[in-house]
Amino acid sequence: MATSSVASLASTTAPTTTSGAKTPAATTTTSGLVSLNSAATTTSSGLLSISGLASGMDTSGIINQLMALETQPIAALQNQQTTNNNKQAAWLSLTTMLNTLQNAAQAIENPATFMGTTASFTNGVAGNPSILNLNATANIAPGSHGITVGALAQQQETVGAQGYSSTTTAISGLTSLAITNTASGKTTAFNQTTLEGLQSAINAANIGVRATVVNTAASGATPNYVMQLAAANSGAVNAFTVSTNGSASGAKTGTLDFANSASEATSLGGSSAYASAVDAALTVDGISIKRSSNNITDIIPGLSMSLTALGSGTINLSNDVATTVKNITNFVAAYDSVTSFINAQETYDPTAATQPPLFADSTLQTIQTTLQGVFSGAGTGIGNTSNAYGSMSDVGINTNYFQGNTITVDTNALTQALQANPTALQNLFTPSASGTGAASTYSFVSSLGNATPGVYASTMDSAGILTMQLKGAGAAVTMTNAGNGYFTGPAGSALDGVVLLASSTAAGTGTWTFSGGAALMVDARVKNFSSYNGGLITTAENSLTQNNQDLQTQIGRINARAAQMKTTLQQQFTNLEKQLASLQAQGQYLTQQLNYLPGWTMPRTSNNSTA
């Protein structure tokens, strides 16, 4: 086609199609080629997109609708992720409650600390202050103990007779200083000749003696530095002697002399001072006792005493019923919170659009059943024993079976039961056992809470091998001989973690009845629920996390596929628009050329209407 003809075509405005619709105006490019005016855009992929320019179709809308259809499954996947997140939040809430329950259980699971003890002192002279501080750290049999404190423990101190104006100047005539521990006879010699050097060396030697340099001069006066040596701890066992330049005790050398007794301090004069090492002296229930410290923990097991003054009086010990009732109530309240949470999760609401996150969850049901079995007492094996209290209801702890197995506590009944028979009530919550063989008694020592409660048949053979078998079920358990009469249950066995003490290893058979204790068994079960290695809750949470990751992978694949599909559709529609535009331009050109022919008239299109 001639250039002039193209220019002529370019000057034509808004040509009409056979249907009467206007096509986009054409202009001439700098190269003289025809270009359609358009709102062409460039896609994110770099493709030129001409949306419906030639066809009149909303190609962008069509593509977007196709994309919406292609990515429609994402909404369902995201909903599943939301459901999983809600389940994980519910598991987290339950775990927090179980941790509270576990802490409450640990406060009452140990037989040695289940029943707290209150300790007080009554001075023998009315109105006089206490002469000691008391702290009960374990169960102690109630009672009273007479005590008299005749002496308080103190550490030895001795001060050098001479003073010096400098701590860094060598002391004239000083060649060595030796310190000897009186009890062990060990001597440590120091060859430093300044106060500062000796102080550093003695303190670094770690021989149970501390050195301190003190300025005794008045403010503003010439310094008068003296050295004080003091035992690090009180008591006669920490006494020491000091010699200067190898001299005998009490000899006056005239250079940094130390007294080793009060009389030597008087003889040396100057700054010399001496306080001897003294043991604490006391009488408890008529028994004379000496200790090197005023802090005493080994006279009455479980009772710490801190002596503060001389005098006499009575130590009063009684069961701390109020604290024990509080600890049990806290345990029950924590258990009740867990029960209420599980009940809420398992309650079906026919009017709700969705049910609780853990509704009908088998793991949650397992946790509920396990805790109920242990807390009721049936799972602890207490019913197999001759314990005065055979269930929680015997001590005022009642299960509301028609209210979701929630628990209520009658504190008055609980207090009375605790006062009437503290050991029997303790056995409900802490592990206990008893049994005998033909020639031996098996005393319960401890349990980790994983053992199976029940009545066991015991057999000690001639080689001192002890086996236990749960009556009615299970394989025989060969106990591990730990020496000195102690036997332990192997890991994974029915008596996992149990420690007992046999009075004899003589051959014979007998029975051994074991009760796990509700508090200890709840603690052990909660540990198993939350264990990082295969715990029920941990497994459930890990499964949800993995499922969410898998769902996100699926979402990523759908988005990637949709993006590729969009790019392909944009390319195809762009090519279509370009082809239609080219055909329309050719049609317009042919029409105008025909119009130049003599006698040619463009036929009109019939509208197919009737007159």
3-state helix, strand, coil in the chain (%, to 5): 35, 25, 40
Exposed / middle / buried, residue 11 (Cβ in 10 Å: 0-12, 13-18, 19+): exposed
Q: Alpha carbon of 265 to those of 155, 260, 275, 386: distances in Å? A: 17, 7, 10, 70
Structure tokens at 583: 């055909």
If one compares 147 and 593, the residue with the highest pLDDT of the two is 147
Identify the H or E element spanning 275.
strand 273-275
Report the pLDDT averaged over residues 461-475. 89
Pairwise CA distance, residues 117 & 144, whole Å:
12
Residues 497/500/505/511 CA torsion (nearest 10 deg) = -100
Q: What is the pTM of this model?
A: 0.71
Q: Which of 56-65, 195-204, 220-229, 330-339 has the lowest mean pLDDT?
A: 56-65
CA distance 351 to 222: 94
Mean pLDDT within 409-424: 95
Lowest-confidence region among 19-23, 121-125, 568-572 = 19-23
pLDDT one-digit tens code per residue, 108-155? 999 988 998 999 999 988 888 899 999 998 788 899 999 999 999 999
Task: State the average pLDDT for the chain.
Answer: 87
CA–CA gap between residue 205 and residue 203 (Å, rounded)? 6
pLDDT the model gives residue 30: 36
Q: What is the mean pLDDT of residues 283-291?
A: 97
Q: Is the pLDDT of residue 500 over 90?
A: yes
CB-count burial class (<10 Å; 0-12, 13-18, 19+) for 206: exposed
Confidence of residue 547 (pLDDT cuts 50, 70, 90): very high
Q: Which long-range contacts (CB under 8 A, 24 or more apart) does 26-33 make?
A: 26/585, 26/588, 32/3, 32/6, 32/7, 33/6
Task: Please give the Cα distance from 528 to 367 (Å, whole number).
Answer: 10
Distance between CA 57 and CA 573 in Å, rounded?
10
Q: Which residues pair with 133 in a beta bridge?
A: 306
8 A C-beta contact, residue 36 and residue 585? yes
Q: Please tell me the distance from the alpha carbon of residue 14 to that of residue 304, in angstroms, as a whole number.
A: 108
For residue range 28-82, what is the model confidence (pLDDT) as tens digits? 333 333 333 344 454 544 444 556 666 778 888 888 999 999 999 999 999 999 9
pLDDT grade for 380, boundaries at 50, 70 and 90: confident
User: 194: burial class by Cβ within 10 Å (0-12, 13-18, 19+)?
Assistant: middle
Q: Residue 22, Cβ neighbours under 10 Å: how many?
A: 10
Cα–Cα dist 467/391, whole Å: 29
